[in-house]
Amino acid sequence: MTQQVSGQTFSERPRAAVMEDVAARAGVSAMTVSRVLNTPEKVRPDTRARVLDAVRELGYRPNFAARSLVTGRSGALGVVSFDTTLYGPASTLHGIEQAARTHDYLVTIVNVTTLNRRSIAEAVNRLRFQSVDGVVIVAPHESAADGLHHLPPDLPAVVVGARESLPVPVAAVDQAAGAVRATRHLLSLGHNTVWHLSGPEDWIDASARVEGWRSVLTAEGRQIPDPLRGDWSARSGFEAGRQLARDPEVTAIFAANDHMATGVLRALREAGRRVPEDVSVVGFDDVPEAPYLWPPLSTVRQNFTEVGRLAFRLLLERIDGRTATPHRMIEPELVVRESTGARPTPR
């Protein structure tokens, strides 16, 4: 059955080696090869060596589909995320992937455009049928909660960034604590109160930051201005900033993320209000460019990479059947730069 001219009819290359080929070459049964690969300690050292030689010589790689069909395991993890172009989710994903890689897991991602019960179920199902061993769900929206309460009970899952206690472990940054730090910092500089530009309504991080900010003002007996609402974008920060710039009472602004703070900075400039001489501004996230804005932005740093690592650790505990820590918080850190200063002395 010689192959003649090209024709590309059938690959002239011999088929990829399968377990049986390795077994034949090593003079053992396929089962022994399987054992060498999965439970090497149960095979006599010299047999093991012979098998491993054969594996190497044939360039054998086990067929993932076959293994996964019979074991129900895949060595892959699923990540359901909302929008991986945002700085936070992208960094979290990166942290998860990094941790997974060092433990020989692969990461499969599914982005969803909306977070609700149906979209989460659908994404999880897609992953489940790819036989992932577990899923991490990055769910920064309040509206995701419903979906998170109805995850399939037999699939190890971990949630990143959810608020309340769930039937699954949660890894999150303590948003409220970050907001508390930002607000206290501004008050400590002498400002009478702090205006807040919050994130969009449905976001957990946004409302947690509002709560942290409000709690400090309440505790200190300060006036609590109505928070303005943005959508995380620099554009919305700019618009809110224009509004705030008009009010001479405003001397301290806490923006719920750095991009909005960027817009606020610009709006203040354009309105002729100097930062930090006239108005102090604090952001949230500590995006890489924050130190190089003008002026360098004081902000609250969230260690997303750490969150990703934590999420992976929790998931691994789940997969291995160890009882997992139910809820773990990572503390954010206030980073003071030059966008915050003492309250201007009233003339």
Partner DNA sequence: CCCCGAACTGTTAGCGCAAACACTCGGATA
Partner DNA sequence: TATCCGAGTGTTTGCGCTAACAGTTCGGGG
Question: Strands, E, within 121-278: which ranges?
Answer: 134-138, 157-160, 170-173, 195-198, 228-229, 252-255
Q: What is the DSSP letter of 343?
A: P
Would you count residue 320 as binding DNA (CB under 7 A)? no
| CA-based nearest residue to 82, from 73, 92, 72, 74 | 92
State in angstroms the smallest separation of the CB of 129 from a copy of itself. Answer: 5
State in angstroms the smallest separation of the CB of 256 from DNA. Answer: 46
Which ranges of 220-303 does DSSP label H, i.e. alpha helix? Answer: 234-246, 258-270
> Do residues 296 and 81 touch, judged by C-beta distance below 8 A?
no
Would you count residue 43 as binding DNA (CB under 7 A)? yes
Which residues in 168-227 contact a copy of itself (CB under 8 A)? Answer: none
Would you count residue 74 as binding a copy of itself (CB under 8 A)? yes
Other C-beta atoms lying within 10 Å of the C-beta of residue 329: 15
Would you count residue 29 as binding DNA (CB under 7 A)? yes
Cβ proximity to DNA: between 65 and 219 the closer is 65
Which residues in 261-300 contact a copy of itself (CB under 8 A)? Answer: 262-263, 265-266, 269-270, 288-289, 291-296
Would you count residue 336 as binding DNA (CB under 7 A)? no
State in angstroms the smallest separation of the CB of 40 from DNA. Answer: 10
Cβ proximity to a copy of itself: between 119 and 193 the closer is 119
Greatest alpha-carbon span in the chain: 99
Each residue of 141-161: b (16+ CB within 10 Å) or e?
A: bbbbbebbeebeeebbbbbbb
H helix and E strand count, the chain: 12, 12
Q: Helix 30-38 and helix 45-58: axis angle, to 10°?
A: 100
> Do residues 258 and 199 touch, judged by C-beta distance below 8 A?
no
Which residues in 47-76 contact DNA (CB under 7 A)? Answer: 47-48, 62-63, 66-67, 69-71
Cβ proximity to a copy of itself: between 212 and 308 the closer is 308
Q: Report which secondary-structure segment, H or E, holds 102.
A: helix 87-102
State in angstroms the smallest separation of the CB of 20 from DNA. Answer: 6
State in angstroms the smallest separation of the CB of 37 from DNA. Answer: 6
What are the distances in angstroms from CA 100 to CA 90, 93, 103, 286? Answer: 15, 10, 5, 25
Would you count residue 30 as binding DNA (CB under 7 A)? yes
Would you count residue 32 as binding DNA (CB under 7 A)? yes
State in angstroms the smallest separation of the CB of 320 from a copy of itself. Answer: 14
Q: What is the DSSP letter of 12?
A: S
**Of 28, 54, 172, 234, the one binding DNA by CB under 7 A:** 28
| CA gap 222, 217 in Å, rounded | 5
Which residues in 104-163 contact a copy of itself (CB under 8 A)? Answer: 106-111, 117-118, 121, 125-131, 150-154
Would you count residue 35 as binding DNA (CB under 7 A)? yes
Binding site for a copy of itself (CB under 8 A): 7, 9-13, 61-66, 68-69, 74-76, 83-85, 87, 90-91, 93-94, 97-98, 101, 106-111, 117-118, 121, 125-131, 150-154, 233-235, 237-238, 259, 262-263, 265-266, 269-270, 288-289, 291-296
